[in-house]
Structure 1
């Protein structure tokens, strides 16, 4: 744990006056946006070649298969951001026709057997042809396993389940508004900016961030009272391991109240859960729990941060296992809503995330180590319903 210091920040510009802002209408953010110039003005932040999310450098992206929610499973590498490669018809040369005249003298059983083999061979050819087309679509020509590739990637809501339960990832009629599925209180819907993509992955959904000032999702209000006990958890899939990459935070004033994600700390790749304990989030009042993350790149990891207001402690769990704790004086309840893909530092946006998130949940209590241990076991009845949940 590192106390009394704040992380170096990678600033992003404030929103332009009179544009978009927080809680902007659904769809595209109006001209300007977060850090973008007004219409007719030159862009002071031209894209850098090779940067994540910029043309020429699609992030290697993709996913795990779609096991049921709450069941741990191995996860493969998601497909790249952006549009899939054009589907191409595989070359196919039909096999030469057999000599039917010579076969006429064969017995009835032999002819039946040959007919069956011919049918099986045709079916195999069709399957192989379809498989070749699928590889072209998912970019699987690099030799990576294909059983974890997505079946579809698109913006919009998922279809309700056959059992009648509404499993939509977005609000009905609002394809850029992530739906709060907890139903334990007033919902907090999360508005996705243009550089965020919702992807359907088998039976589940994930949200993908390309990085940069226009790649985030935010609510219209705070999701949790940080002055009281709480738990925040999400699965994270990072496709870059440099700088600071925050998966989830809260606050849009001078500073975050809490942030959780990936960061290089003292030259080491790390997972971090950090809180502000002083008024207006001065750097000297930041407290954090840090654990090394040597294999963080392109691998699904469950991160969970808790705050126990009675014991005045914060804790970080990695893949449902305790990673560290820290004593704090309390958490500063700064203004502003919950954020995905970025955090507020010294009055500017930073920590732009590049990768995927899903299974995002918040409880208005500090889960115990025993409760965190069963987060992804499917035995969630002992935890109580979360206050908020997205992409579960």
Structure 2
């Protein structure tokens, strides 16, 4: 494992004009192309020397200029309408639970026996549904994420099969045209094909990067080359943070990286790398943390601490949470190839004990979980 600075990513197309909106994005705030350079402009990736001894991998060569094709127009969901619908559904469920609880009390008090409410304690195996995207890996990671979840605990928003439902908060994540859901026997995963349109985007930022936070996901990486980011945040000139796979100094590695400056330069990025573990075709829990008080970032692979690195802070770039891609120098890059699930966000830097709990699919009650999808 090593600490160092940013590395270039292969360019991908810009999003369609007029995307975004809702959840605090007022009309006109994000004009054509998010207000950032279009795909026809060059992408000069000119890394600066690393800051201080032992914090860099040396000078990097700029990649050759590439012709970037524009995204095809993708319709965006009505975020506010979806949020209102989700809130109404939650109120309905709470009312139903209260009614059922009252009925049970009355029946027991009357000595009329008892009712068995709900289904069996055994997990309800769902039929395998063929979907587009990367095929689901076999042999590992098939345990039920929540075997006793209620029947209405769908991974998507009701009536919106391409909108991931936030089990903790109210922020949906819309699937791009190249991403898909895979229904397995005991869980649901989102699948990415490593292409420009294979991504998913949240309605807003899920993390306040000026404060402590944790981002975590179970990931299955198919690619052995390039940069492949599972989770990131930002759609401006640069990411604020990114978590995923990258080849570092010729070695396949997991990486958690944050941007500390608003220009997105290599010299203003800091990272923690784990290059001594299996990174390809194997389910793994990736967890990145930022401790705003100690000014450190850390990376866990499963529940093993890969390393820590000091940072001056994390740059709060504009834009929402992203799955399956990251923003570099005003263009999309690092397309993820493979499935993801168990995506969680916390507004604290998790401890070793809490990360071990996540590995066992248990959330520490002291941890402040703010968002979760596909759990």
The question of a shared fold, defined as TM-score above 0.5 by the shorter chain, is answered with yes
Distance 1:312 1:381, change over 3 A: closer
CA-to-partner distance for each residue in 1:251-307, whole Å, 9 max, x for gaps? 000000000000001110000000011123222100000011552111101000000
- 1:140-179 equivalent positions in 2, closer than 5 A: 164=150, 166-179=152-165
Which residue number in structure 1 is paired with residue 13 of structure 2? Answer: 13
Greater mean alpha carbon deviation, residues 5-14 or residues 61-70: 61-70
CA-to-partner distance for each residue in 1:326-384, whole Å, 9 max, x for gaps? 00011000000000000000111100110000000000000111211121324424343
CA-to-partner distance for each residue in 1:230-263, whole Å, 9 max, x for gaps? 0010000011110000000000000000000000
- 1:76-225 equivalent positions in 2, closer than 5 A: 164=150, 166-183=152-169, 187-225=170-208
SS in 2 for 1:281: coil
Contact 1:271/1:293, CA 8 A, preserved across alignment: no
Q: Is 1:2–2:3 an aligned residue pair? A: yes
Distance 1:65 1:12, change over 3 A: closer
Distance in 1 (alpha carbons) for counterparts of 2:202 and 2:372: 12
Q: Is 1:342–2:328 an aligned residue pair? A: no
CA-to-partner distance for each residue in 1:159-216, whole Å, 9 max, x for gaps? xx88645321110000110111114xxx211010111110111121100001211010
Which residue number in structure 2 is paired with residue 257 of structure 1? Answer: 240
Distance 1:36 1:271, change over 3 A: same
1:314 pairs with one of 297, 315, 340: 297
1:22 pairs with one of 1, 20, 23: 20
Distance 1:36 1:376, change over 3 A: same
SS in 2 for 1:284: helix
Which residue number in structure 1 is paired with residue 347 of structure 2? Answer: 364
* Larger gyration radius, structure 1 or structure 2: 1
| C-alpha deviation, 1:65, in angstroms | 6.2
2:215 pairs with one of 232, 243, 250: 232
Distance 1:188 1:16, change over 3 A: closer
Structure 2 runs not aligned, ≥5 long: 23-32, 41-66, 71-132
Distance in 2 (alpha carbons) for counterparts of 1:279 and 1:22: 21
How many residues were matched structurally? 274
Q: Is 1:247–2:230 an aligned residue pair? A: yes
Contact 2:134/2:339, CA 8 A, preserved across alignment: no
Distance 1:297 1:378, change over 3 A: closer
SS in 2 for 1:2: strand
Distance 1:162 1:270, change over 3 A: closer
Distance 1:378 1:163, change over 3 A: closer
Distance in 1 (alpha carbons) for counterparts of 2:135 and 2:374: 21
Which residue number in structure 2 is paired with residue 136 of structure 1? Answer: none
Contact 2:354/2:367, CA 8 A, preserved across alignment: no
Which residue number in structure 2 is paired with residue 62 of structure 1? Answer: 137
1:289 pairs with one of 254, 272, 278: 272
SS in 2 for 1:355: strand
Distance in 2 (alpha carbons) for counterparts of 1:207 and 1:355: 9
SS in 1 for 2:267: helix
Root-mean-square deviation (Å): 2.8
Structure 1 runs not aligned, ≥5 long: 25-32, 38-42, 47-57, 71-160
Q: TM-score, normalised by structure 2?
A: 0.67
Contact 2:136/2:182, CA 8 A, preserved across alignment: no
Distance 1:17 1:320, change over 3 A: same
Q: TM-score, normalised by structure 1?
A: 0.64
Which residue number in structure 2 is paired with residue 74 of structure 1? Answer: none
